[in-house]
Amino acid sequence: MNLSSDKEMSEAMNPWDGSRWFVPKPASGWRLASMSQVTAKQLLRHGNRLSNWDARFLQTVLVQTGPLDAGQRYWMNRIAEALGEREAA
């Protein structure tokens, strides 16, 4: 078993601190946002109720320009349900 991957898995399950960005931040300013991006931003507001993995996933959706695939939709729904949120879309 790879110890590095065990450590990474453990870190991914830790609570998110609410401020760390795992992906490059989107450019500031006005831009059109998809409903999935609005939902991701809404869910990121839950801060430390999210795991680092959840936050990384939602940040990725937030900066993604294309539509979500089936797997991404599944995880978005699962995170929203776990937080008791209704999706924006």
Give, for all 89 residues of the chain, the pLDDT tens digit.
444 677 877 888 889 998 899 998 877 777 778 899 999 999 999 988 999 999 999 999 999 988 999 999 999 999 999 988 765 44
* Domain residue extents for the chain: 32-89
Q: What phi and psi values does residue 85 have, to the nearest 5 degrees? A: -100, 150
In the 8-state DSSP scheme, what is residue 24? P
CB of 44 within 8 A of CB of 59?
yes
Contact call for residues 35 and 64 (beta carbons, < 8 A): no
CB 73 within 8 A of CB 62: no
